[in-house]
Structure 1
Amino acid sequence: MRLTAITAAVALTAGVAFAETVAPDNVAFDEYGAVEVSLTGTPGNAENGAKVMTDRGLGNCVACHVVSALSADFQGEVGPSLDGVGGYRSEAELRGVLVNAKKMFDGTVMPAFYKVSGFIRPGDGYTGKAATEITPILSAQEIEDVVAFLMTLKDS
């Protein structure tokens, strides 16, 4: 017990903050759908965020959005262009859209990237069987990484 208290005191005096990852069902949205609090307490990595946005096995954001700063073979036009989005959206708004866009934009077809409940008849892949476990599309840190990348997209 004493060692834990000493370790915590040393960490706080060194400026290190211990933060737990916010679970998908515990994310707090404001009345407009924004998520003010970081999901991890760790700053996002913009370089990794760019990879998540173009990776077909992760976010694959460019399947629906144009992002001129990213080189991808194909960029979709289903969603709005994300060029300059960091200049007119806050981190909280971007985090909210990524976690569950329907909280901000009712009727959107954008998937909720950090949601594990509230689905209608979820299944296990393409097996036709009921889901045994639902995991978010992106991890909390990947959400923070994408937010960090999107915040770099500002009109000059």
Structure 2
Amino acid sequence: MKRHVAHWAMAPALAATLAALPVAAETAPGTIAFDGGAVAASLTGAPGDAAAGAKVMTTAALGNCVACHELAAMPDVQFQGNIGPALDGAADRWTEAELRGMVVNAKMTFDGTMMPAFYKTDGFIRPGDGYTGKAPEAELPPVLTAQQVEDVVAYLLTLKE
């Protein structure tokens, strides 16, 4: 006699198996491997979310890319900047690795650029701890998380001419 097990009955075993699988570790800011400014490997091992990337790009407390870059793909976003290159068509001009490298630290690609490094924690001058004028007592966190970098890259890859 064959026993039929309902699929829902296997769910706890499947959940336990998935929980035991290793999770890709996030790449720490100081350990990023640049290749001529490009960063080939994902910082998270997980795909970015383009919608979340668009939010990072337009939120002042996050990346706020539109403060310096114009983006015709977002006509409703006011006060777009013009000191950085327009981002429309970015996916046609740069590879995923090049875009990731620019978001992580554009100075590795464009020496002397005004663009800040969004995933870096040392080797540059920053304001004091919480704008107190005092030196920070610990390492400052990067501006964006590794996942936010991947989200921005995912959005930039949607920008084709």
Structure 2 length-normalised TM? 0.83
SS, match of residue 125 in structure 1: helix
Matched, 1:50 2:81: no
Match of 2:45 among 41, 45, 50: 41
Q: Which residue in 1 is equivalent to 2:65?
A: 61
Counterpart code for 2:45: G
Following TM superposition, by how much is the alpha carbon of 1:21 offset from its aligned partner in structure 2, in angstroms?
0.2
Is the 1:35–1:93 Cα contact (8 Å) retained in structure 2? yes
Q: Which residue in 2 is equivalent to 1:143?
A: 149
Instruction: State the 4+ residue runs in structure 1 displaced beyond 4 angstroms.
Output: none
Q: Which residue in 2 is equivalent to 1:3?
A: none
Following TM superposition, by how much is the alpha carbon of 1:120 offset from its aligned partner in structure 2, in angstroms?
3.4
List runs of 5+ in structure 1 lacking aligned partners.
1-6
Q: Which residue in 1 is equivalent to 2:32?
A: 27
Following TM superposition, by how much is the alpha carbon of 1:17 offset from its aligned partner in structure 2, in angstroms?
6.9
Identity %: 60
Following TM superposition, by how much is the alpha carbon of 1:125 offset from its aligned partner in structure 2, in angstroms?
2.7
Task: Indicate the RMSD between aligned Cα atoms, in angstroms.
Answer: 1.6
Counterpart code for 1:150: L
Matched, 1:105 2:107: no
What CA deviation, in whole Å up to 9, does each residue of 1:73-126 have, x standing for no partner?
110001000000011211100000010110000000100000001123652132
Q: Which residue in 2 is equivalent to 1:4?
A: none
Matched, 1:93 2:91: no
Q: Which has the larger radius of gyration?
A: 2
Structure 1 length-normalised TM? 0.86
List runs of 5+ in structure 2 lacking aligned partners.
1-13
Is the 2:54–2:152 Cα contact (8 Å) retained in structure 1? yes
What CA deviation, in whole Å up to 9, does each residue of 1:25-79 have, x standing for no partner?
011101x110000000000000000000000000000000001112311100010
